[in-house]
Structure 1
Amino acid sequence: MKDLTKLFINGLWVEPQSKQTLDVINPSNENVVAKVANSNVDDVNLAVAAAKSAFDDWSLTPATERSKIINNIATRMEERKAELITAVSQTMGCPEHIAGWLQVDGPIEGMTLFADKAHLTEQIKDAGSSLIIKEAAGVCAFINPWNYPLHQFVGKVGAALAAGCTMVVKPSEQTPWQDYIMAEIFVECGLPAGVFNLVPGLGAVVGEALCRHIDVDVVSFTGSTHAGIKVAQAAAPTVKRVTQELGGKSPFIITDDADLTAAIKYGVEDVMLNSGQTCTALTRMLVPQSKYTEAVALAKSCAESLVVGNNENAFLGAMSSKAQQQRVLEYIRIGVEEGAELICGGLESPLVEQPGFYVAPTIFAGVNNNMRIAREEIFGPVLCMIPYQDLDEAITIANDTPFGLSSGVYANDEASAISIARKIRAGQCYINGAFFNYLAPFGGYKQSGNGREFADIGVEEFLETKAIQRG
């Protein structure tokens, strides 16, 4: 069993003020794989004080030096890749052969790219009688999710390091292990003490204390929209900058002239990947009425071909927790009660008499956009198929949601897909089978959050703009 009961504060592994711990459960077999510290407000105060003390020196460190450290971190991540894969796989249930390319390869690339962004802090713009410069925003609090824990860690921490900020990180209590490995890597790469501090614990305690802390300047949160509202409320009295990546209920428009077989395969696998625990998942599939019956049959065949389990043949692993499994099953019950047609999957366990929090790939047909399963984020392997009469109706349905994180279009050609993508109110649109790109900004519209991660703009979220007026 992994011992994660210490905190990383001011460059040292220290005993927490709180003596409480939390069990970290492997959702694929229900075994306890680690004990993690359950920190309290006193622990938060010590970590924030360390970050504040380190800020002046780190923010004035030359960009070339920060860039070198970030590059070294990425190199060390590659060297310790197997450990990172194990940490993510055993705590959130993603099969190891998928966790490598889905959960770890991308974050290593993302960290490498942030090394090239440190120069943004040294750019000077001449604006008439003024000089416009960028400065590190200050002490940052990062509250990370369990579904892509290393990805979101890098999106926040890598950007903040490039910007010259210091930070306190709270991992999800379900998936803290990889953050401990990253703390070790930071020490190995010579990151100055106090720049990075790690304080695990419950969101209601550690997360709220960070959001309210007078010495925290920026809060970046990834999680549900409901929790994001609480984060914003807690941060408001001290007028912090708050960036959030929240929920989604993303549409996927398949046009009448698209390659239907390819589009359906892409759409089904997108929703089922990571057991549906992806905020950008294209969970509302919009199909022309004239091809709806064929599309449903293709989707059913594709979903039923996907293996569920924790072996090298599995496409879907376990849900992250018992609570998440029950949440998804409750939504499946709601879908049936609402009158949607259950095409495949459902309430029956896909692995009979085996431990683990599994849910079968589930598809509903006969769905309309007023149903709860079409409007609320399920965060599981559940696809809703919605017919449309013409493209104008498809775009209307696509935009009829309080969310705006992601979207997709599959059309006969790129120009047509881009034309439709420009009409969808969402922060990203994946056209004709595209995948995530770490060179592009990531974030949402509407109740899917505010701010962006990755690319130049992801670093700029942690920079202040100063105008120096010359006489």
Structure 2
Amino acid sequence: MIVLNEFYIGGDWQAPDSSQTMPILTPSTGAQVGQVTLGNAQDVDRAVAAAQAAFVSYSMTTKDTRLALLHRLAEVMQARMEDLAQAITTEMGAPITMSREVQAASGFGHLEAFIATLEAHQEEEALTNGDIVSHEPIGVCGLITPWNWPINQIALKVIPALAAGCTCVLKPSEHTPLSAQLFAEMIHEAGFPPGVFNLVFGDGPSVGAALSRHKDVAMMSFTGSTRAGSAVSRDAAETIKRVALELGGKSPNVIFADADLEARVTEGVRECFDNTGQSCNAPTRMLVERSVYDRALDIARSAAAAQAVGDPHQEGDHIGPLFDQLQYDRVQRMIQIGMDEGTPLLIGGLGRPEDLPAELAQGWFARPTIFFDVTPEMTLWREEIFGPVLVMTPFDTEAEAIALANDTDYGLDAYISTGDEARALRMARALRAGGIHINGRATDYGSPFGGFKQSGNGREGGRFGLEDFLEVKVRPPFSA
């Protein structure tokens, strides 16, 4: 059994102040594979003190020095990609092929993009009036990351913080500590100075709140639920620290009649189910032009029926389990609410897939599910489910499609499919979302990621992600 009973603080592995532990469970069977010790406010104090002490010198390092450290981290990470993939599959249930090609690979992709961003970054610039603006690290940063994309989100927070010259304390999800432990080992091997990066395991109400409230933390960067993001903001308000939030989503997928219907609907279903539906920017509301709606329903039904569900430790393009019992129960509850409200069910429904092998019978597997004729008054339209559940509805006009797509408290991503370039650009302008996908194409590493409305504030990735960790200082040119 894996035992994680030390925190990485001040460049060394230290015994925690806390003795509270929790089991590490693997989603495919529900079995315990390890145990992690959860920290407390005293552990946070030690980690923040180490980060604050390290900030004095690290914040003054040259860009070239930080680039050399990041290049070394890239070498170390590349050598340990298989370790990362195996850890992610074990702790959160992503199928091993996806863990290798997407989950683990995303951390390396973001690292490369931030290296390129830092290389191009100008730390000082002259204004038209002759004054000089410098971009300087904000200070000690508290970073809280989720379980659904563990290394992706660690990379999107830790790497720009270190690139900017900040120091940090990372609190990863207590449910996915294995990949975070590996990342800390990589930071150590890459040779970052002691105290620049610190890792404390723990839950939100203890470690997360202690970080958010800490007077010596200059910035909080949080990814998770909108409810928890609101709590981080409240905790951080007393000390007037910067808060960057990447929160929930209920992303629309608008498909017009002139799109490649077979490809776009099939792709939309698979994109919704990808990562077992546990992605904040998943296209969970499919809006289809009425003239091709019935055909789209047939295509969607076939795509869902073809979606394999299986053992995440086996290679392939199937989806795996939900990450824990609480998430499984939530998805089942949401499906039941849909049925109770009379929402028509196209395919799927309650319970586990019927063809699971016996050894996976206790795993947290859900049936790929589609509801149709869903209206904005229904719960499934409004609430983020975070499971393999898609809702579909028809529209008649472009104006109606825009109104329906924007009828949500969230605004993370939006998807558009049409053969008309002018319409695609009109839609992209009109949709209230931070990221736009057009005809199956998304943006790449180095582009900003984040949302409007209750999907958060700030941006992660590339130049905009780096700037979140920088303060602006202005001075006049020197004259004797």
TM-score band by shorter chain is: over 0.9
Q: Secondary structure at the match of 2:141?
A: strand
Assess if the C-alpha contact under 8 Å between 2:114 and 2:446 holds in 1. no
Work out the CA distance in 2 between the residues paired with 1:14 and 1:377: 38
Misfit runs of 4+, over 6 Å: none
Q: Secondary structure at the match of 1:107?
A: helix
| 1:194-233 matches, cutoff 5 A | 194-233=195-234
Work out the CA distance in 1 between the residues paired with 2:435 and 2:127: 33
Work out the CA distance in 1 between the residues paired with 2:127 and 2:317: 56
Instruction: Please report the RMSD computed on the Cα atoms of aligned residues, expressed in angstroms.
Output: 1.2
Q: Secondary structure at the match of 1:51?
A: helix
Shift of 1:415: 4.0
Assess if the C-alpha contact under 8 Å between 2:106 and 2:151 holds in 1. no
Assess if the C-alpha contact under 8 Å between 1:307 and 1:313 holds in 2. no
Cross-structure match for 2:16:
16
Which residue of the other structure, out of 347, 350, 364, is the alignment partner of 1:344?
Answer: 347
Aligned residues: 471
Cross-structure match for 1:357:
364
Assess if the C-alpha contact under 8 Å between 1:276 and 1:381 holds in 2. yes
Work out the CA distance in 1 between the residues paired with 2:271 and 2:32: 30
Cross-structure match for 1:330:
333
1:336-388 CA deviation, whole Å, 9 max, x = no partner?
Answer: 11111111111031137512100011000121122110011001100000111
Work out the CA distance in 2 between the residues paired with 1:115 and 1:16: 33
Give the aligned residue type for 1:410: S
Cross-structure match for 1:319:
322
Assess if the C-alpha contact under 8 Å between 2:169 and 2:200 holds in 1. yes
Work out the CA distance in 1 between the residues paired with 2:35 and 2:337: 35
| 1:13-52 matches, cutoff 5 A | 13-52=13-52
Work out the CA distance in 1 between the residues paired with 2:357 and 2:96: 22
Cross-structure match for 1:240:
241
Q: Secondary structure at the match of 1:238?
A: coil
Give the aligned residue type for 2:414: S
Q: Secondary structure at the match of 1:91?
A: helix
Work out the CA distance in 2 between the residues paired with 1:352 and 1:117: 47
Q: Secondary structure at the match of 1:287?
A: strand
1:441-466 CA deviation, whole Å, 9 max, x = no partner?
Answer: 00000010000000101000000000
Is 2:436 the partner of 1:435?
A: no
Q: Secondary structure at the match of 1:264?
A: helix
Greater Cα offset, 433-442 or 238-247: 433-442
Cross-structure match for 2:270:
269
Work out the CA distance in 1 between the residues paired with 2:130 and 2:373: 63
Cross-structure match for 1:299:
300
Assess if the C-alpha contact under 8 Å between 1:66 and 1:115 holds in 2. no
Is 2:406 the partner of 1:405?
A: no
Gaps of 5+ in 1: none
Assess if the C-alpha contact under 8 Å between 2:307 and 2:318 holds in 1. yes
Cross-structure match for 2:451:
444
Distance 1:31 1:336, change over 3 A: same
Is 2:60 the partner of 1:57?
A: no
Q: TM-score, normalised by structure 1?
A: 0.98
Q: TM-score, normalised by structure 2?
A: 0.96
Is 2:101 the partner of 1:101?
A: yes
Greater Cα offset, 227-236 or 180-189: 180-189
Assess if the C-alpha contact under 8 Å between 2:213 and 2:239 holds in 1. yes
Shift of 1:129: 3.8
Cross-structure match for 1:142:
143
Shift of 1:418: 2.4
Assess if the C-alpha contact under 8 Å between 2:254 and 2:287 holds in 1. yes
Shift of 1:435: 3.1
Shift of 1:309: 1.1
Shift of 1:436: 4.5
1:187-234 CA deviation, whole Å, 9 max, x = no partner?
Answer: 111100000000011111000000000000000000010111111000
Work out the CA distance in 2 between the residues paired with 1:384 and 1:39: 40
Work out the CA distance in 2 between the residues paired with 1:304 and 1:42: 51
Percent identical residues? 44
Assess if the C-alpha contact under 8 Å between 1:342 and 1:365 holds in 2. yes
Cross-structure match for 1:90:
90
Shift of 1:252: 0.5
Assess if the C-alpha contact under 8 Å between 1:68 and 1:115 holds in 2. no
Cross-structure match for 1:2:
2
Q: Secondary structure at the match of 1:286?
A: strand
Gaps of 5+ in 2: none
Work out the CA distance in 2 between the residues paired with 1:251 and 1:138: 37
Is 2:132 the partner of 1:131?
A: yes
Assess if the C-alpha contact under 8 Å between 1:77 and 1:185 holds in 2. yes
